[in-house]
Amino acid sequence: MKHFLKVKDIKEIILKEYGKSISSSKAYEIIRILNLELEEKNILTIRGAVSEKYFNARKKIIAQLLKGVKKNE
């Protein structure tokens, strides 16, 4: 089990769970937003990666960020 997710991991999860293909820049945007939330709580972050536990806890905001992204058909 990984503790941190990188761009490739996020893209794979989004495709598998939401049926949407996102660009690397969109995956980086998700990482940046989640890391900003963690930094506001004074939690140490790693640039270009996000805690898997926090990513899973914030699925609601991730779904909001994916609005407008078309599903793969």
- Domain parsing of the chain, residue ranges: 2-64
Provide the 10 A C-beta neighbour count for residue 27. Answer: 22
C-alpha dist (Å) from residue 51 to 19, 54, 68 = 22, 5, 25
Q: CA–CA separation, 6 vs 56, rounded Å?
A: 14
C-alpha dist (Å) from residue 70 to 15, 20, 34, 46, 66 = 11, 6, 22, 29, 9
Give the pLDDT of the chain (73 residues) as one tens digit per residue. 579 999 999 999 999 998 999 999 999 999 999 999 999 999 999 999 999 999 999 988 888 888 877 776 4
Tokens linked to 36: 């900003």
